[in-house]
C-alpha cells in the first residue's frame, strides 16, 4: 500500500489542471462512489426493519444496547481526532508524534471492531443470526460491510505506522499517503454516524 | 528524474521489452491497453453474435426443436450479458483508453498501472463468466429433468441478463450457474469502477494547457458523463449482487418471499443500476458521432454547448427513470405516473442532440465516407429506437408491450442501431490513427449497407411481431399464431448482419497489412489526436500541446472568409509538417510509465478469489479464496515498492542525426533508470 506515492505520472512534465494531486482527487472520487454503496445498504435495512414477516422472530431493534454502542461510536469518533492529530504532527515535522497518533488511531479502530465482534456475538447468542429474518440479514450486512471498511482502514494505518518506523520516518511523498488514509478514515467515521443515527437511534 | 534513486528490491525483475508478448502483458500504455480492450471486446462480440444466431435458428420456424428450453434460456441470458458487459462496455472503454489522453493532450491516463489492472480484471472476469459453460451446474428440479430441461451445451447462467430474484435465488436456481453470473458481474463491475475513477481524474487533472472544460471534444465530455454514471450506479449493483450471492451462499433472506424477503427490491436495485447502464452504453457512441459528423460535414458541431449539456442532462435524468422497467410488477399508480413522466422528459435532451446533429450536417460539404455513413445510420436508427422508447413511457401501452418482442425491437434499435453503429463509425474513423494505414473504402461501404439492411430486416419486424403478441424469452411459439414468416425474415436479417461482420473482419485484417499509408490527418479533422503521427508514437505528444480554441487543430488550419466559409490558411501544410516532425522527434526526453507485471497478477488473483467464493462449501474452496486474496494483496505490496517511470529516449527515428538539443545517446540511461 505504502508507496502508492509513485502511482501517478502527473508531476513531472505536466501539471494538474485542478491543482489537486491525482491520488487525492482519485480518493475523493472513490469515496463519492462509496456513499452510494452505503446508501443502498442503509435503504435496504430501512425497507425491512419494521416489516411484519408473519412469523415469530427477533428484530435487531429489540436487541440494541444503546449505551454500549454509544461508547464504541464515541471511540470511533475519537479516532478521527487522533487521525487529524497524526496529520498535524506530520505537517509540523514531528515524526515521533505522528507515529504515536497513527498507532492510537489504529488501536481505537481495533477497539471499535472488538465492540462490533462482541455485539454480533451477543446478538447471535440471543438468537438473532444472519438467517433469522430479512431485517436481521440487512442489519448484519450493513454493519458488517462497515466493519470490513474499518478493518481495511486499520490495515492501511498499520502499514503507514510500519513505514513511519523507518529511520527517515514519513517522507514528503508519504505524507500524501497519510492524507489519503485520513480521508478514507474520516469517511468511514462519517458513515458510522449516519448508521448509528438511522439504524440504532431512530426507533 | 525520481527514478535514478538506488535500486529497490523487487520480487520480479522489471519487465523491459516494449515489443512482443510480454510487452502486452506488462504494459501500462493507455494505447496498448485500449487496443487489447478492443480485441477482447470484439472476441466477445463474436461470442454474443453466435449466441444470437443460435437463438434465431431456433425461432426461425414455429415449434422448432433445434434447442431445448434450458439451452434457449442459457443462450438468451449469455447473449444479453455478453453484449452489455463484455462487448459494448469494454468496446467503449477501448475508445476511452486510446483516445481520451490524446484528445486532451496528455501523455497517459492519471493512473497508468491501475488502468492495466482494470483491463486484466475485466478480461479474467469475462473468462470467469464464460467458464461456467465448462464447470457450472444446474440442479435437477424435483422429479428429475424433463426433455426440455436438458442442456447439451454445458450450463451457463440462465436467469436473463437482469437475473431477476427469486428465480436467480437459492430456491429456484440450485446449481452454481447463477453464482458464476453474480460473481462475474461483480468482478466486471470492479474493473469498470476502477477505470471510471481513472478517467474522471484524467479529465479533471491531465488536460493540456488551455484545454478548458468547454474546449474539450464532445467525445471527452461523454466519456466523463459515462464515468460518473458508472461511479454512481456500480455501487448499487454491487450491493445487489452481494445480496443475491449471500442469499445463495450464506442463507440470507433478502429476496426470499416465503420468509418475508422482497423480490421487487432486486428489481429496484438492478434497474437503479440498469437504467444508467443503458446510457453508459449509448453515450460513448453519441460522443463518437459528435466527432465524426462535424469532420465529414466540414463544419463545427452545431450547438456544442447544448450537445454537452444535453449529454450531462441525460446522465442526471438517467438516475430518475428506472421504475419504467417495472410498470407491470405492481408498483403504485403514483410511481407509475411519475416515472412515466420522467421517462418522457428524457426525450428532450435526446431530441436536442438529434437536432444539433442534423444542424451540423445541414449546409455542410458532406463527404460520405464509411465513418460518416455509420454515423448517419446511427442518427436515423436511434431516432426510430428513441421514438419507440417514448411509447413505453405511456404506462397502459407499456402494459401491453412489456415482455413482448416490441421491447426487443426497441432496445436493439437503440443499442445496435445506436451504440454498435456508433462504435463501427469510430472504428473506421480512427483506423488510420491506430494503424497508420487506410482501410478499404469500398469494403467499408459494402459492410455498412449489408449491415444496415440486415439490421432493419432483423429488428423492424420485431415491432409488429411483438404487438401481435409474440412473447420474449420463450423458446417456441405456436404455428397457429401466424408469426412464422416474419420470424424467418428476422433470422435471415440476423445472418445478413453476420455476413457484414465477416466483411468487416476481412477489411480490418487486409487493410492492416496492405492498406495505403494514411498520413497523420487523412480526414482533415479537428481534434488533437490528428496532430500526431500515425500510428501514434508511444509517448503521444513530442511536445505537450497548448490549446487556444475549441477545435484547436481546425482553427490552426482554417480561417473563414466574409461569408463564414472555411478557407485553408496558406501555412496549414507547413504547420502539419512541423507537428509531424516534433511528433516523430521529441526535442526533450519524455517520462513514461514503465511496464509492470503486477496489474496482470492482480487480475489472476481476483480470478482465483472468485472461484473460491463459488466453491466455498467444498474443502478446497476456502484455501482457493485465501490464495486469491493473498495474490491480490501480495501484488499490491510488490506494486508499492516498484518505481513507476522510465525515461523515454530510444524511440527516435533511427536515421535521426542526433543534434536535438539536450538529447544524449540515450539507451544506457534508460536501462539504469529501470533498475
* CB proximity A7 to B under 8 Å: yes
Per CB-CB distance under 8 Å, the chain B contacts of A25 are: 110, 200-201, 204-205
Per CB-CB distance under 8 Å, the chain B contacts of A51 are: 260
Put simply, the answer to whether B641 touches A3 (Cβ < 8 Å) is yes
Put simply, the answer to whether B206 touches A10 (Cβ < 8 Å) is yes
pLDDT in tens, chain A (203 residues): 333 433 334 344 456 888 889 999 999 999 999 999 999 999 999 999 888 888 888 999 899 999 999 999 999 999 999 999 999 999 998 899 999 999 999 999 999 999 999 999 999 999 999 999 999 999 999 999 999 999 999 999 999 998 888 877 788 777 888 999 999 999 999 999 999 999 999 88
C-alpha distance from A37 to closest chain B C-alpha (Å): 5
Mean pLDDT, chain B, as a whole number? 90
Which residues of B, range 542-601, sit inside 8 Å of A by Cβ? 544, 590-593
Partner-chain residue, chosen from A1, A10, A37, that has the shortest CB–CB distance to B636: A1
* CB proximity A92 to B under 8 Å: no
B13, B642 Cβ separation under 8 angstroms: no
Decide if pLDDT at B212 tops 50. yes
Determine the residue among A19, A28, A29 to mutate to test chain B binding: the one whose Cβ has the most chain B Cβ atoms within 10 Å. Answer: A29
Query: Which pLDDT band, with edges at 50, 70 and 90, does B650 fall under?
Result: very low
Partners of B471 in the beta sheet? B404
Rounded distance, CA B527 to CA B531, Å? 8
Partner-chain residue, chosen from B205, B260, B262, that has the shortest CB–CB distance to A10: B205
Find the radius of gyration of the CA atoms of chain B: 26
Q: What is the largest CA-CA distance in chain A?
A: 67
Question: Which among B235, B207, B203, B237 is positioned nearest to B222, based on CA atoms?
Answer: B203
Tens of pLDDT, residues B165-182: 888 988 888 889 999 999
Put simply, the answer to whether B252 touches A15 (Cβ < 8 Å) is no
Partners of B378 in the beta sheet? none
In three state form, how does the secondary structure of A127-165 look? CCCCCCCHHHHHHHHHHHHHHHHHHHHHHHHHHHHHHHC
Partner-chain residue, chosen from A1, A25, A137, that has the shortest CB–CB distance to B252: A137
Rounded distance, CA B121 to CA B331, Å? 37
Determine the residue among A45, A137, A148, A171 to mutate to test chain B binding: the one whose Cβ has the most chain B Cβ atoms within 10 Å. Answer: A137
Question: Which among B55, B11, B139, B86 is positioned nearest to B475, based on CA atoms?
Answer: B55
Put simply, the answer to whether A53 touches B260 (Cβ < 8 Å) is yes
Mean pLDDT, residues B121-130 taken together: 97
Q: Is B592 helix (H, G, I), strand (E, B) or coil?
A: strand
Note the pLDDT of residue A175.
83
- Residue B57, classified by CB atoms within 10 Å of its CB into exposed (0-12), middle (13-18) or buried (19+), is middle
Per CB-CB distance under 8 Å, the chain A contacts of B201 are: 22, 25-26, 29
Put simply, the answer to whether B204 touches A133 (Cβ < 8 Å) is no
Stated length of chain B: 675
This complex has an ipTM of 0.91
Mean pLDDT, residues B293-307 taken together: 95
Mean pLDDT, residues B350-374 taken together: 95
* CB proximity B673 to A under 8 Å: no
A75, A169 Cβ separation under 8 angstroms: no
Phi, psi of B595 (to 5 degrees): -65, 160
C-alpha distance from B587 to closest chain A C-alpha (Å): 13
* CB proximity A137 to B under 8 Å: yes
Rounded distance, CA B155 to CA B49, Å? 18
Decide if pLDDT at B285 tops 90. yes
Per CB-CB distance under 8 Å, the chain A contacts of B593 are: 9
Decide if pLDDT at B663 tops 50. no
* CB proximity A183 to B under 8 Å: no
Put simply, the answer to whether A30 touches B197 (Cβ < 8 Å) is yes
Tens of pLDDT, residues B579-613: 988 888 888 888 788 888 999 999 999 999 999 99
C-alpha distance from B613 to closest chain A C-alpha (Å): 17
Put simply, the answer to whether B197 touches A33 (Cβ < 8 Å) is yes
Which residues of A, range 45-74, sit inside 8 Å of B by Cβ? 47-48, 51-55
Partner-chain residue, chosen from B197, B261, B643, that has the shortest CB–CB distance to A29: B197
Question: Which among B285, B231, B300, B376 is positioned nearest to B555, based on CA atoms?
Answer: B300
Note the pLDDT of residue B666.
37
Q: How many CB atoms lie within 10 A of CB A19?
A: 8
Rounded distance, CA B487 to CA B460, Å? 11
* CB proximity A32 to B under 8 Å: yes
Put simply, the answer to whether B591 touches A12 (Cβ < 8 Å) is yes
Report how far apart, in Å, the C-alpha atoms of B61 and of each of B48, B72, B221, B487, B602 are: 22, 15, 46, 7, 47
Find the radius of gyration of the CA atoms of chain A: 20
Strand ranges inside B570-634, DSSP E:
590-593
Put simply, the answer to whether A40 touches B239 (Cβ < 8 Å) is yes
Q: What is the largest CA-CA distance in chain B?
A: 83
- B443: Cβ contacts below 8 Å, ≥ 6 apart: B503, B506, B507, B510
C-alpha distance from B646 to closest chain A C-alpha (Å): 10
C-alpha distance from A117 to closest chain B C-alpha (Å): 18
Note the pLDDT of residue B291.
96
C-alpha distance from B218 to closest chain A C-alpha (Å): 19
* CB proximity B260 to A under 8 Å: yes
- Taking CA–CA distances from A142, the nearest residue in chain B reads B239
- Taking CA–CA distances from B252, the nearest residue in chain A reads A131
Put simply, the answer to whether B204 touches A17 (Cβ < 8 Å) is yes
**Model pTM above 0.90:** yes
In this structure, the dihedral spanned by the alpha carbons of residues B356, B221, B387 and B476, taken in order and rounded to 10 degrees, is 150
Rounded distance, CA A189 to CA A183, Å? 10
pLDDT above 70 covers a percentage of chain B that reads 92
* CB proximity B651 to A under 8 Å: no
Rounded distance, CA B58 to CA B66, Å? 5
* CB proximity A30 to B under 8 Å: yes
A137, B252 Cβ separation under 8 angstroms: yes
Helix orientation angle between A172-195 and A66-91, rounded to the nearest 10 degrees: 160
Phi, psi of B555 (to 5 degrees): -60, -30
Decide if pLDDT at B674 tops 50. no
Determine the residue among B200, B253, B269, B595 to mutate to test chain A binding: the one whose Cβ has the most chain A Cβ atoms within 10 Å. Answer: B253
Amino acid at each position: 500500500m505504502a508507496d502508492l506515492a509513485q502511482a501517478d505520472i502527473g508531476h513531472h512534465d505536466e501539471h494538474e489542471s485542478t491543482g489537486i494531486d491525482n491520488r487525492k482527487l482519485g480518493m475523493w472520487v472513490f469515496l463519492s462512489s462509496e456513499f452510494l454503496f452505503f446508501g443502498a445498504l442503509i435503504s435496504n435495512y430501512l425497507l425491512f426493519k419494521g416489516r411484519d414477516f408473519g412469523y415469530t422472530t427477533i428484530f435487531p431493534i429489540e436487541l440494541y444496547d444503546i449505551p454500549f454502542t454509544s461508547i464504541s461510536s464515541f471511540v470511533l469518533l475519537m479516532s478521527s481526532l487522533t487521525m487529524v492529530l497524526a496529520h498535524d504532527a506530520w505537517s509540523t515535522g514531528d515524526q515521533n508524534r505522528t507515529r504515536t497518533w497513527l498507532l492510537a488511531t489504529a488501536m481505537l479502530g481495533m477497539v471499535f471492531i472488538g465492540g462490533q465482534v462482541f455485539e454480533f456475538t451477543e446478538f447471535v447468542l440471543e438468537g438473532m443470526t444472519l438467517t433469522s429474518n430479512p431485517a436481521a440479514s440487512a442489519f448484519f450486512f450493513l454493519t458488517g460491510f462497515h466493519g470490513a471498511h474499518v478493518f481495511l482502514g486499520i490495515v492501511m494505518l498499520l502499514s503507514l505506522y510500519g513505514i513511519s518506523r523507518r529511520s527517515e520516518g514519513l517522507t514528503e511523498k508519504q505524507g500524501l499517503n497519510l492524507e489519503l488514509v485520513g480521508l478514507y478514515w474520516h469517511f468511514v467515521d462519517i458513515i458510522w454516524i449516519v448508521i448509528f443515527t438511522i439504524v440504532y437511534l431512530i426507533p | 528524474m525520481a527514478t535514478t534513486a538506488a535500486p529497490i528490491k523487487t520480487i520480479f525483475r522489471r519487465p523491459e521489452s516494449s515489443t512482443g508478448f510480454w510487452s502486452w502483458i506488462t504494459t501500462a500504455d493507455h494505447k496498448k491497453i485500449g487496443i487489447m480492450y478492443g480485441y477482447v471486446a470484439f472476441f466477445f462480440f463474436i461470442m454474443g453474435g453466435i449466441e444470437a444466431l443460435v437463438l434465431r435458428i431456433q425461432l426461425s420456424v414455429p415449434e422448432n426443436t433445434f434447442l431445448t428450453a434450458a439451452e434457449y434460456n442459457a443462450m438468451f441470458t449469455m447473449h444479453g450479458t455478453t453484449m452489455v458487459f463484455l462487448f459494448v462496455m469494454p468496446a467503449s472503454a477501448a475508445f476511452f483508453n486510446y483516445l481520451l489522453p490524446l484528445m486532451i493532450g496528455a501523455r497517459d491516463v492519471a493512473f497508468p498501472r491501475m488502468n492495466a489492472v482494470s483491463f486484466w480484471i475485466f478480461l479474467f472476469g469475462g473468462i470467469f463468466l464464460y467458464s461456467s459453460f465448462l464447470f457450472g451446474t444446474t440442479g435437477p428440479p424435483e422429479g428429475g429433468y424433463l426433455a426440455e430441461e436438458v442442456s447439451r451445451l454445458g450450463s451457463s447462467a440462465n436467469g436473463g441478463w437482469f437475473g431477476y430474484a427469486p428465480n436467480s435465488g437459492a430456491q429456484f436456481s440450485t446449481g452454481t450457474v447463477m453464482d458464476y453470473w453474480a460473481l462475474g458481474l461483480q468482478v466486471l463491475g470492479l474493473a469498470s469502477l476502477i477505470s471510471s475513477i481513472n478517467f474522471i481524474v484524467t479529465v479533471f487533472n491531465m488536460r493540456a494547457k488551455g484545454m478548458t472544460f468547454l474546449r474539450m471534444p464532445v467525445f471527452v465530455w461523454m466519456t466523463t458523463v459515462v464515468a460518473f454514471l458508472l461511479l454512481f450506479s456500480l455501487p448499487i449493483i454491487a450491493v445487489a449482487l452481494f445480496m443475491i450471492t449471500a442469499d445463495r451462499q450464506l442463507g440470507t433472506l433478502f429476496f426470499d418471499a416465503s420468509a418475508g424477503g422482497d423480490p421487487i427490491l432486486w428489481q429496484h436495485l438492478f434497474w437503479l443500476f440498469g437504467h444508467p447502464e443503458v446510457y453508459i452504453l449509448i453515450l460513448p457512441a453519441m460522443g463518437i458521432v459528435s466527432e465524426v459528423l462535424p469532420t465529414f460535414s466540414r463544419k463545427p458541431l452545431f450547438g456544442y454547448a447544448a450537445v454537452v449539456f444535453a449529454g450531462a442532462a441525460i446522465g442526471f435524468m438517467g438516475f430518475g427513470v428506472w421504475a419504467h422497467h417495472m410498470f407491470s410488477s405492481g408498483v403504485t399508480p403514483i410511481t407509475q405516473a411519475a416515472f412515466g413522466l420522467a421517462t418522457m422528459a428524457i426525450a428532450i435532451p435526446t431530441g436536442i442532440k438529434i437536432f444539433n446533429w442534423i444542424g451540423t450536417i445541414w449546409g455542410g460539404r458532406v463527404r460520405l465516407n464509411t465513418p460518416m455513413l455509420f454515423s448517419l445510420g446511427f442518427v436515423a436508427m436511434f431516432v426510430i429506437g428513441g421514438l419507440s422508447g417514448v411509447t413505453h413511457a405511456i404506462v397502459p401501452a407499456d402494459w401491453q408491450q412489456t415482455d413482448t418482442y416490441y421491447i426487443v425491437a426497441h432496445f436493439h434499435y437503440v443499442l445496435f442501431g445506436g451504440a454498435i453503429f456508433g462504435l463501427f463509425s469510430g472504428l473506421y474513423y480512427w483506423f488510420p490513427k491506430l494503424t497508420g494505414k487506410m482501410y478499404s473504402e469500398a469494403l467499408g461501404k459494402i459492410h455498412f449497407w449489408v449491415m444496415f439492411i440486415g439490421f432493419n430486416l432483423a429488428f423492424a419486424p420485431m415491432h409488429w411481431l411483438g404487438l401481435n403478441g409474440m412473447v420474449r424469452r420463450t423458446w417456441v411459439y405456436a404455428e397457429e399464431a401466424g408469426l412464422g414468416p416474419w420470424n424467418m425474415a428476422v433470422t435471415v436479417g440476423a445472418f445478413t448482419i453476420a455476413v457484414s461482420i465477416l466483411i468487416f473482419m476481412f477489411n480490418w485484417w487486409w487493410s492492416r497489412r496492405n492498406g495505403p499509408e494514411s498520413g497523420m490527418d487523412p480526414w482533415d479533422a479537428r481534434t488533437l489526436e490528428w496532430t500526431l503521427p500515425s500510428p501514434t508514437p508511444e509517448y503521444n505528444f513530442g511536445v505537450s500541446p497548448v490549446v487556444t480554441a475549441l477545435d484547436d487543430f481546425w482553427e490552426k488550419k482554417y480561417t473563414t472568409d466574409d461569408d463564414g466559409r472555411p478557407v485553408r490558411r496558406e501555412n496549414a501544410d507547413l504547420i502539419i509538417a512541423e507537428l509531424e516532425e516534433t511528433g516523430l522527434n521529441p526535442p526533450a526526453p519524455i517520462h513514461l510509465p514503465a511496464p509492470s507485471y503486477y496489474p496482470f497478477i492482480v487480475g489472476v488473483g481476483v480470478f482465483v478469489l472468485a472461484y473460491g467464493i463459488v466453491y466455498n462449501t467444498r474443502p478446497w474452496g476456502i484455501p482457493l479464496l485465501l490464495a486469491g486474496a493473498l495474490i491480490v494483496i501480495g501484488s499490491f505490496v510488490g506494486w508499492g515498492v516498484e518505481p513507476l517511470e522510465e525515461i523515454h529516449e530510444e524511440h527516435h527515428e533511427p536515421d535521426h542525426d542526433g543534434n536535438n538539443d539536450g538529447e544524449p545517446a540515450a539507451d544506457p540511461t534508460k536501462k539504469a533508470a529501470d533498475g
